[in-house]
Amino acid sequence: MNPRTRHALEFVLDNLVWFMLLFVLVVFSIFIPNYFQLGIFANIIEASSVLGVMSIGLALVIIAGHMDLSVESVAALSAMAVGILFCSSGIGMGVQLHPEWLMVPVSLLLALAVGGLIGAFNGYLVVKVKMSAFIITLASYIWVRGLVLVVSGGRSAQDLAPAIRWFGIQRLIGLPLTAWIAIACFVIFSLIMARTPFGRHLVMIGGNETATFRAGIRVNRNLIIAFVLAGAIAGLAGWLLAIRTSGATANLGVGLLFNAFAAVVIGGVSLKGGVGTLPGVYAGVLLLSAINTAINLMGLPANFTQVIHGLLVLAAVLLDAFKQTIRQRLA
């Protein structure tokens, strides 16, 4: 094999999800009437912003060789905290700040802080007390959702302050600002993972924790930061969710965790750790969203979505194994 075909093949393997996304979009555009519209594509991006942001945090922790099942509940708690403070009806307290725009940074910081704190709690128990990330974050998944129910009393908050809502309404080049926030997150965290020592260290910790420890990398510190980031990013997802629904309900975001997992796996992140990139995860999120949109347009019952998502995850895992064999032959 000459170097050029080899390079081309490696490029395709590295970006396989993007090619899958392109393929799916082309097929849908050809066979589904009304699919090929800018509005539809904008909608695909818009609908994937909350899931996308949440997937970033999940992917960080999984790439570092761990697991965070709590992201969905953390997002819900952050959304509820923002909802209770800044919604004017339901259980909302309708807190007003002057000037009005001040509510934006305050609510955002609140959401990030709630998420970051729970992330720090998870990280401490997993890294310092050396408990299994699966169990710790499963526990957080349950108790944080419980906390959402407790603080809300099972009721909901509506009518988020217009100054915060503005992010969901104001559009820039056809996309609401919330979608741009998600895109910005992907760009920033992709750069962090690929271009900074911190990102490089996370990938290496996921690959061989012992080796990184022996090499003098501060493994514990890096891992705790990863958990805090995952929590804070989930908090941001909750903030976006509150904006999207203009409030918060007690069961807000239920089921997002499994979609996030699907997106991360489809995006080429290995649950074994150390493998995967964030652009791939974004493609995975968009792929799920593109398929949802197709199902809606075809008028299929929404129940089909889950079946298709499940099969897609299976396909992604099989594809990953297949990719490995090809790579081995390339080397």
* Complex with another protein: residue 155 or 327, whichever CB lies closer: 327
Which of 57, 116, 274, 284 binds another protein (CB under 8 A)? It is 274
* Complex with another protein: residue 153 or 216, whichever CB lies closer: 216
Contacts 24+ apart (CB under 8 A), 3-12: 6/330, 9/326, 9/330, 10/327, 10/330
Taking CB under 8 A as the rule, which mask of x and - marks residues 179-208 in contact with another protein? ----------------xxx--xx-xx-xxx
CB 45 within 8 A of CB 175: yes
Phi and psi at 157, nearest 5°, equal -110, 135
* Complex with another protein: residue 171 or 221, whichever CB lies closer: 221
* Complex with another protein: residue 76 or 204, whichever CB lies closer: 204
How many alpha carbons fall within 13 Å on the CB side of residue 150?
Answer: 7
Please report how close the Cβ of residue 27 comes to another protein at its closest, in angstroms.
Answer: 32
* DSSP-assigned states of every residue in 8-53: HHHHHHHTHHHHHHHHHHHHHHHHSTT-S-HHHHHHHHHHTHHHHH
Does 267 participate in binding another protein (rule CB under 8 A)? no
Find where tokens 């090619």 sit: 19
DSSP H or E run through 287? helix 278-298
Please report how close the Cβ of residue 234 comes to another protein at its closest, in angstroms.
Answer: 24
Which DSSP category does 92 fall into?
-
Which of 89, 218, 300, 304 binds another protein (CB under 8 A)? It is 218
Strand 175-176 relative to strand 247-248: parallel, antiparallel, unpaired? Answer: unpaired
CA distance 21 to 96: 44
* Complex with another protein: residue 121 or 198, whichever CB lies closer: 198
Which of 95, 120, 275, 295 binds another protein (CB under 8 A)? It is 275
Taking CB under 8 A as the rule, which mask of x and - marks residues 116-155 in contact with another protein? ----------------------------------------
Structure-token pair, residue 140: 């957080």
Please report how close the Cβ of residue 56 comes to another protein at its closest, in angstroms.
Answer: 18
* Complex with another protein: residue 128 or 195, whichever CB lies closer: 195
Distances in Å between the alpha carbon of 321 and those of 179, 324, 327?
33, 5, 10
Which of 109, 300, 318, 330 binds another protein (CB under 8 A)? It is 330
CA distance 17 to 94: 44
Which of 33, 216, 299, 301 binds another protein (CB under 8 A)? It is 216
Which DSSP category does 89 fall into?
E
Does 213 participate in binding another protein (rule CB under 8 A)? yes
- Find, among 64, 85, 45, the residue nearest to 229 by Cα: 64
**Binding segment for another protein among 22-30, 160-168, 216-224, 283-291 (CB under 8 A)?**
216-224
Does 280 participate in binding another protein (rule CB under 8 A)? no
Which of 5, 210, 303, 325 binds another protein (CB under 8 A)? It is 210
CB 59 within 8 A of CB 264: yes
* Complex with another protein: residue 7 or 155, whichever CB lies closer: 7
Please report how close the Cβ of residue 221 comes to another protein at its closest, in angstroms.
Answer: 11
Size of the site for another protein (CB under 8 A): 25
Which of 22, 214, 298, 326 binds another protein (CB under 8 A)? It is 214
CA distance 198 to 190: 12
Interface residue list for another protein (CB under 8 A): 195-197, 200-201, 203-204, 206-208, 210-218, 274-275, 327-328, 330-331
